[in-house]
Structure 1
Amino acid sequence: MPAATIKFSTVQEVESFLKEDSSKLYFNKKIDLSAERTPFLNHTCLRIKDPAKSIPFYTDILGFKLVDTKRFPEWKFDLFFLSLNKDLTPKDIFNTDGILELTHNYGTEDDESYEVNNGNDESKGRGFGHICLTTFDIQAMEDTLISKGVEFKKKLADGRQKDICFIYDPDKYWIELVCYGNRENHLLEKELLISKSLGNQFNHTMIRVKDPVKSLSFYINVLGMQLLEFKHHPNANFTVYFLAYPQANASSLPPRRTREGILELTHNWGTEDDAKFSYHNGNDNPQGFGHTCVTFADASRVCSQIDEVYGDKVQWAPKWGEGGMKNIAFIKDPDGYKVEFVNQQGV
């Protein structure tokens, strides 16, 4: 059944389809994660050209905290782990969500011809879209960023949507800024009214997907995520789906815009019917977006479960125990984006 013919209107309809019509899905069996503690959509990895520019941008301008730096001179790269609103120590990095990992490959800062693929340039290949920060007072955030000389892709006054804006980071990655405070349409959105600041949040990471049914079945049935909500935009012919991991205190979770650890899948209608169409996964040249990362209490056990259920239907790159680092694995989603698996106690 082509994805374009499926007119989902509620999350329950999607969940029912993934169960009742599982015979029509490529990823048609749900991995049992009941033995796991709560998994986390832990971090998003972006490659950067020059850490001397990117780290101050994220810390001094956007307010992230540099939690840890892991250096791998034998492989000629460094990893910088940042958190926006949590006070963390290095040992806490993989036991939470909302982490940004910036990867620097040695020498790129001295190469005038080197450019990161930000995922939004047709000439380099589109795929990854943006990361998103949410805030209580979006006008105050825009004013502050303007005063600091930040380059905007879209200001609040531009376009139809007046409560979001976009900025560029030093590598031209898009960063979406969204308001969660005093939203006038909170009743329409079935959200609580947030009348005081809860701080800024690293809310979500957006990637574009070719076939939403295949991608939803992967992230829900294989990786155990939960669909929070979705929105059709018929005027622009696309749909966005927001997923996250169920939390222990799910009954008291705040609205989606005030959370961290969310994945947004964007489907531009019709791509699923084009056999020649594909998105850039960020790891083919020219590179940019690296991966998202899920952390588990026992990542090795989860890898074994997936192997047992799906075998050759999933692609590892590499499998657990087979890469240069033996205590991580990478699995590819239907569009070839990489998802890293790591233990919550760290690597």
Structure 2
Amino acid sequence: MSGVLDHTMIRVGDLEESLEWYQTNLNYEEKGRWEADTFTNVYIGPEEMHEDGAMLELTENHDTDEYDVGDAWGHIAVRVPEDELEEAYQELMDNGVEDYRDPESCSYNYAFVKDPDGHEIEIVKRDPELGARWSLDHTMIRVEDADEALGFWTRKFEYQHTGRWESDSFANYFVKPEDAADEAMAVELTYNYDGRSYEMGDAWGHLAVRADDLSDYWETLMEREADDYRDPESCDNNYAFTTDPDGHEIEILERDFDADSLFPA
């Protein structure tokens, strides 16, 4: 059982403003759009995406333009070539992006900006072979029990623990499918040692995992005692949702890239 990470969904107050921001600053393009009565979903990502690469899903609810970012979700991270961190950050500054955490303040290892709704975006240095410039590298979520969170991803989803970084006050753990391409997005689990709890907020939506067969994948998750949050039948057999031990929502879906739309008919 293996499911590559398909997308990360975030909620935005002004869809057209957000689209312009990501298209102007990260050179993202619109991959697909779904118009519903009460909301609009748009998939975006780099023009040259690897087949295992992840997209960003922007959701605009028609009845509100205000969201609480909370602190249970941390950031999405985008890649730039190893020798282009400062250049890439300066490009963003020249575009008028707010100076949030520049490369110098991060020891020239990474940098951070924010999108119009306050979602944090980390810029990380990667080998150019590991994906297109600005492609999604990982999504960071905060967890209250590192052992439980790692157990969830490695047992329920058969993800591989691919790396860790320990500091004096926190640790970061990276997981993704064992057979996923290097270009695939990872999940970064951040565990703070001080025992704090987190507020989920509503500005972040979910992570999505792509399944070859939704029904079989869901059945395996249920056998492994994953949370039965929204089963396939309740979602017209187009997708389903479970949650991790900290309440982060995880969508399970099939994907037909040859279909007329990336969204279910």
Q: Provide TM-score, normalisation by structure 2.
A: 0.89
- Is the alpha carbon distance of 1:295 and 1:196 closer, same or farther for their aligned partners in structure 2, counting shifts above 3 Å? closer
CA RMSD of aligned residues (A): 2.2
Aligned pair 1:118/2:69, yes or no?
yes
State which of 215, 238, 245 in structure 2 corresponds to 1:327.
238
Aligned pair 1:98/2:50, yes or no?
no
Deviation, structure 1 residue 198: 5.3
- Is the alpha carbon distance of 1:51 and 1:207 closer, same or farther for their aligned partners in structure 2, counting shifts above 3 Å? same
Which amino acid in the other structure matches residue 315 of structure 1?
D
What is aligned with 2:259?
none
Deviation, structure 1 residue 53: 0.8
What is aligned with 2:251?
340
SS at match of 1:153: coil
Aligned pair 1:267/2:191, yes or no?
yes
What is the rounded CA distance, in whole Å, between the counterparts of 1:302 and 1:100 in structure 2? 23
SS at match of 2:30: strand
What is the rounded CA distance, in whole Å, between the counterparts of 1:328 and 1:170 in structure 2? 29
What is the rounded CA distance, in whole Å, between the counterparts of 1:196 and 1:210 in structure 2? 30
What is aligned with 2:16?
52
Identity across the alignment (%) = 26
Contact kept in structure 2, 1:226 and 1:243, CA below 8 Å: yes
Structure with greater strand percent: 2
- Is the alpha carbon distance of 1:230 and 1:105 closer, same or farther for their aligned partners in structure 2, counting shifts above 3 Å? same
State which of 293, 306, 315 in structure 1 corresponds to 2:208.
293
Query: Can you give the 5+ residue segments of structure 1 that lack an aligned partner in the other structure?
Result: 1-32, 89-94, 120-125, 182-193, 254-258, 272-276
Alignment of 1:1-347 (within 5 A): 33=1, 38-73=2-37, 76-86=38-48, 96-109=52-65, 114=66, 116-119=67-70, 126-136=71-81, 137-158=84-105, 160-180=106-126, 199-234=133-168, 237-247=169-179, 253=182, 259-271=183-195, 278-282=197-201, 287-310=202-225, 314-323=226-235, 325-345=236-256, 347=264
Contact kept in structure 1, 2:3 and 2:157, CA below 8 Å: no
Query: Can you give the 5+ residue segments of structure 2 that lack an aligned partner in the other structure?
Result: 257-261
Which amino acid in the other structure matches residue 232 of structure 2?
W
What is the rounded CA distance, in whole Å, between the counterparts of 2:27 and 2:227 in structure 1? 37
SS at match of 1:315: coil
Q: Provide TM-score, normalisation by structure 1.
A: 0.69
What is the rounded CA distance, in whole Å, between the counterparts of 2:222 and 2:142 in structure 1? 26
Deviation, structure 1 residue 52: 1.7
- State the aligned residue count: 256
What is the rounded CA distance, in whole Å, between the counterparts of 1:197 and 1:98 in structure 2? 11
Deviation, structure 1 residue 179: 1.8
SS at match of 1:340: strand
SS at match of 2:233: coil
Q: Deviations along 1:297-329, whole A, 9 cap, x unmatched?
A: 01211111222342xxx3222112113x43211
- Is the alpha carbon distance of 1:195 and 1:291 closer, same or farther for their aligned partners in structure 2, counting shifts above 3 Å? closer
Deviation, structure 1 residue 197: 9.1
- Is the alpha carbon distance of 1:294 and 1:57 closer, same or farther for their aligned partners in structure 2, counting shifts above 3 Å? same
- Is the alpha carbon distance of 1:97 and 1:280 closer, same or farther for their aligned partners in structure 2, counting shifts above 3 Å? farther
Q: Based on CA coordinates, which of the two structures has the bigger radius of gyration?
A: 1
Contact kept in structure 2, 1:201 and 1:260, CA below 8 Å: no
SS at match of 1:316: coil
